[in-house]
């Protein structure tokens, strides 16, 4: 499979609109999550939009891994057991 070539003009425009950067606050996280949701809902994303979406998801994952530790809980424990 041949590698796709990104249209730098389109991608630059998307980056200019999204202003992606390392997320450091909850407010920034909420802003980026809104962008992720908007891009995720699009039926047809351009290659450039898909690449931006991957970048934004990575930024959110990094922030949430640092700020929302599950402290070794299993998935069923973390969603179902009340905190004491």
Q: Is residue 2 very low, low, confident or very high in pLDDT (cuts 50, 70, 90)? A: confident
**Separation CA 44–CA 54 (nearest Å):** 15
Q: Does the pLDDT at position 6 exceed 80?
A: yes
- The terminus-to-terminus CA distance of the chain in angstroms comes to 52
Q: Is residue 3 very low, low, confident or very high in pLDDT (cuts 50, 70, 90)? A: confident
**Separation CA 15–CA 12 (nearest Å):** 5
Q: Does the pLDDT at position 68 exceed 90?
A: no
Chain segment 18-40, per-residue pLDDT in tens: 999 999 999 999 999 999 999 99
Look up the pTM and report it: 0.78
- Given this model, what pLDDT does residue 12 score? 98
């Amino acid at each position: 499979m041949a590698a796709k070539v990104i249209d730098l003009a389109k991608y630059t425009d998307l980056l200019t609109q999204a202003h992606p950067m390392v997320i450091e606050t909850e407010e920034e996280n909420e802003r980026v999550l809104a962008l992720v949701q908007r891009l995720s809902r699009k039926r047809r994303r351009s290659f450039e939009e898909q690449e931006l979406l991957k970048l934004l998801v990575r930024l959110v994952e990094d922030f949430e891994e640092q700020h929302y530790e599950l402290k070794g809980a299993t998935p069923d424990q973390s969603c179902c057991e009340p905190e004491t």
